[in-house]
Every structure is written in C-alpha cells, then in structure tokens.
Amino acid sequence: MKHSLLLVAVVALVAFATPAHSQFMYLDTNNDGVGDSNDVLSPTSTSVDVWLDTDSNEDSSPVVCNDNPSDLMTINSYEFFLRSTGSVTYGTWTDNMGFGTIVADLAGGSDTYHGRFSLTVLGAGLYKLGSLAVSGVAVNSTLSIVSSSTLNPPGATSFGTTCAGLDFDNTYKHGSDWFDVRGTASFTPVTSTTWGQIKNIYR
C-alpha cells in the first residue's frame, strides 16, 4: 500500500512539473486583432485574418519550449488548413509576415491550405500571419482551423521554430504540440437577440 501511494505521488509530481505546451491560432473577421464571438462571416465578408500567438495559450497563460524552457517560441514558417461549413469561396492569401518562400496555396471542396517559409527567424509573440480573401459567403457559414486535410496530406497546421517540438523537427504542430484554435463564430440573426425580440414586439 505504501509503495502504491508513493507511485501516485511521484506520478502527480511529474505531471505537475512538466510544462504545458500550447499556442493559440485564431481567425479575425472584424479587424480588431482579437479572436472572439464577434468574429462571424456574413454575405458582405471579403476577408479573414489569421493570427498566431507563439508563446501564449488562449487564456493568455505563457508557453515554454518543450525541450528547453529557457528558449523562446520563435517563428520562421507557418502553414494552416481552414475548413468551411456552408458556402464560402476562397480567394487569394496575402502574407503579412514577410515570409517570401511559398510552400503552397491550395483550395478544394470545403478546405483551403496556405504555407510560407523564411530563413529569417522572428521572436516570440503575437503575429497576424496574413489575410485570406473570401466571397460568396452564405448566411450561417463558418470557418474552422483544422489540423490536416486530404487536400494536402503531408501538410499540418503548424509553425517552424527553434524549439525542437515533439517530433524533434523544429515544427510545432496543432493537435500534438499545441491545441488552442478559434474559428469564426456562428452568425446569430438579430431577431434571435434580446434587442431583436423587443423590436419585433413593436412592429
């Protein structure tokens, strides 16, 4: 019994001492630089911004490297998949990072993929990766950030960094190295809100 309690205590201590690895990628549709419930698609939407925080979780708690906690969560490349529900026509991706090497720009079915690379390593922090042009958006359509897609099987929603990563390839991948993402929120018609209901009463 004493040995069992000791084992539980050691396991608990290891779990507590191991730093959590995560980052936060999100979509912004209203140009405020924040990913929240105000970011929705509408028939008038023309672009969606993609943001990545390399050294913070969604709750703003800090992130450290998995192999060396003293290293910074740098970035010198990115790639991501978006998936739509409803009708969304994907347009041109415009890089905002100054990453000049194009990995790929792909679109097919409900998915789109974009990747860029640079030999210049940027420091840890919050970055607007770029903007994706959209059109033909149907009411109640949404965009989600997904880890992978048959559109480009070798690809992964990820970013290059000087930190080793779980696969020791200097790439932090969504779904293994980090998990926090936020796509666009569902559109709520004005008639479903409190103010909308009040207006309906006095029509």
- Distance from C-alpha of 107 to C-alpha of 19, rounded to nearest angstrom: 36
On average, the pLDDT of the chain sits at 85
pLDDT in tens, 42-90: 999 999 999 999 999 999 999 988 888 878 899 999 999 999 999 999 9
pLDDT in tens, 88-102: 999 999 999 999 999
Q: Does 20 or 36 have the greater pLDDT score?
A: 36
User: Domains along the chain?
Assistant: 22-201 (2.60.40.680)
Contacts with 105 (C-beta within 8 Å, 6 or more apart), sequence order: 92, 93, 113, 114, 115
Per-residue model confidence (pLDDT) at position 23: 87
* pLDDT greater than 60 at residue 7: no
DSSP annotation of 172 reads E
pLDDT in tens, 185-197: 987 654 445 444 4
pLDDT in tens, 150-196: 999 999 999 999 999 999 999 999 999 999 999 999 876 544 454 44
What's the predicted TM-score (pTM) here? 0.82
